[in-house]
Amino acid sequence: MIGKSLQKRVLPLVALMVLLGGTAMAQEEAAGVSAEMFAVNNTWMMVSTFLVFIMHLGFATVESGLTRAKNTVNILCKNTAIVAIGLLTYVLMGFNLMYPGDGWIIGKVLGFAGFSIGLAEGVDATMAGVGAAPFTYGGGGYTYWTDFLFQGMFAATAATIVSGAVAERIKLGPFLIFSTIYVALVYPAVGSWKWGGGWLAERGFHDFAGSTLVHSVGGWAALAGIILLGPRLGKYVNGKSRPIMGHSMPLLAIGVFLLWLGWFGFNGGSVLSADPSAVSFVLTTTSLAAAAGIIGAMVTSWIVQKKPDLTMVLNGCLAGLVGITAGADVVSIHSSVLIGLICGAVAVLSVIMLDRLHLDDPVGATTVHLVCGILGTLFVGVFANGVVVGSGADAYTISFGTQLIGVLSYAAVCFPAGLLIFGLLKLTVGIRVSEEEELKGLDIGEHGMEAYSGFQFFSNM
């Protein structure tokens, strides 16, 4: 009796294991990847997601360090809210705007696969469907859910760029409204042009990890916000620029190194697999550009400002990282060093030029993300001109002309969109705090608390 009972229990389990094994083998064959390699690919993508996530702490500390102590709570609150806004809007509609699949509405310019996620074939938004066709999604590189989370972290980054540029004088509520609209609609819609298989992808535009799609998209909105907000009180007096020093260089340095660390996931994860050759090459070009950016900014600052400015040096590191992001997979090792050097040097000159134009950017976000994002995208057409990317029907040849078309296209949409959203908010609810609130600090005015409670010597900083 016991033997028959065991047979009744064990035999169905054996049959199920054989069936699942056959299904897995079929999926492996269809995707051209083994179950083990699928697990490795997906694990690397999840690690990359964690690294991109930690970049938000890097942005928060960079912005806090480069601004005054009386606005630190406000900076931290904005950067915390942005992560939540980015992920929630991405699950609501952003992911399916950016990756519409066959749901194109206006040519290959605008598409939408529907509200909410879990709509892809073979995927269910419950645990019941979590194992459906895991190998075939993403070419065996990762699961649907990993793809969503990785891309969602990128979405939040675009709004974070704007946060630093408009720091110390923008109202919290209107900024959060702007971030919600921009991240939910503008960022994913224009992102679909390349990463979603849209019209720029068909033309052969190359932006590996987002010098344009992420950084300049955020940079154009930052520039719009700076123009409509105007400079901080006391920044420009009688036509002359007066320095407003950040309150913590240690926080700034910590933030930059956190961002450099996060960039290993930002660029390394954009390989979209754990291919050891591709990932190691991308991480090498990324690190070399960052290092060269530091040297380029240091030398330029030393020459122009007579002494090396730490804020310029650290922003030079970020400039190099942004500059290499578009072409980290296709430019040579020597080219990555040149890109970093040029972007680091340009970053110093750009900050000085924008200041002379009375465009007040407390953290240099417009320079780092917009100027160097544009440069990095164009450098792909300079240093990788004629390189063939992909294979078969998906192959395309990189050209400077196509890179320029891409840069101009994003400028033509993102800057006006930023002006429109900020402009409407300015006309309705207002976007700038009162003079009294700005002088006292946004921590007290907007939040009723201080970042460094009890340290009276910070009160005027």
For residues 30-56, average pLDDT: 89
Quick one: pLDDT at residue 456?
56
Residue-wise pLDDT tens digits, 65-82: 999 999 999 999 999 999
Residue 25 within a domain: yes
pLDDT at position 127 over 60: no
Q: Are residues 284 and 431 in the same domain?
A: yes
Based on the fold, state whether residues 166 and 98 are members of the same structural domain.
yes
Note whether residue 141 is domain-resident. Answer: yes
Average pLDDT, rounded, for the chain: 90
Answer for the pair 452, 72: CB distance below 8 angstroms, yes or no. Answer: yes
Residue 455's pLDDT is 62
pLDDT of residue 370 exceeding 90: yes
Together in a domain, 212 and 318: yes
Domain assignment present for 355? yes
* 38 located within any domain: no
151 with 75, same domain?
Answer: yes
pLDDT of residue 126: 56
Distance, CA of 378 to chain centre: 18
Same-domain pairing of 439 and 343: yes
pLDDT of 119: 66
Asked if residue 36 belongs to a domain, the reply is no
Which pLDDT score, from 0 to 100, does residue 25 have? 54
HSE (CB half, 13 Å, CA atoms) of 85? 25
* Domain CATH for 84: 1.10.3430.10
Check whether residue 246 and residue 115 sit in a common domain. yes
Do 195 and 129 lie in a common domain?
Answer: yes
pLDDT tens-digit map of 388-441 = 998 888 899 999 999 999 999 999 999 999 999 999 999 999 999 999 999 999
Residues in the chain, total: 461
Do residues 9 and 86 both lie within one domain?
no
Domain total of the chain = 2
- Residue 188 phi/psi, 5-degree rounding, is -70, -30
How many Å apart are CA 258 and CA 266, to the nearest integer? 12
- Whether residue 40 lies inside any domain: the answer is no
Do 82 and 108 share a structural domain?
yes
Work out the pLDDT band at 13, boundaries 50, 70, 90: very low
Q: Are 374 and 214 in contact (CB under 8 A)?
A: no
Q: For residue range 325-345, what is the model confidence (pLDDT) as tens digits?
A: 999 999 999 999 999 999 999
SS3 state of residue 240: strand
pTM: 0.91
**Is the pLDDT assigned to residue 460 strictly greater than 70?**
no
pLDDT band for position 6 (cuts 50, 70, 90) = very low
First to last CA, the chain: 84
Question: 157-185: per-residue pLDDT in tens?
Answer: 888 999 999 999 999 999 999 999 999 99
Q: What is the predicted pLDDT for the residue at 330?
A: 97
Is 37 within a domain? no
Residues 17 and 79 in one domain: no
Query: SS3 of 14, please?
Result: helix
Q: What pLDDT score does 105 carry?
A: 95
Contact indicator for 218, 161 with CB cutoff of 8 Å: yes
pLDDT-based confidence at residue 11 (cuts at 50, 70, 90): very low
The phi, psi pair for 314, rounded to 5°, reads -70, -40
pLDDT band, very low/low/confident/very high, at 52 (cuts 50, 70, 90):
very high
14 and 152 in a single domain? The answer is no
The mean per-residue pLDDT over the stretch 113-127 comes to: 69
Q: Answer whether residue 327 is part of any domain.
A: yes
Q: At what angle do helices 276-305 and 310-325 cross, to 10 degrees?
A: 140
Per-residue tokens: 276: 């050891």
Q: Provide the b/e sequence for 409-442 (b: ≥16 CB within 10 Å).
A: bbbebbbebbbebbeebbeeeebbbeeeebeebb
Please, is 136 exposed, middle or buried when counting C-beta atoms within 10 Å of its C-beta (0-12, 13-18, 19+)?
Answer: middle
Question: Same domain for 329 and 449?
Answer: yes
Residue 366, pLDDT score: 97
Q: Which domain holds residue 124?
A: 45-458
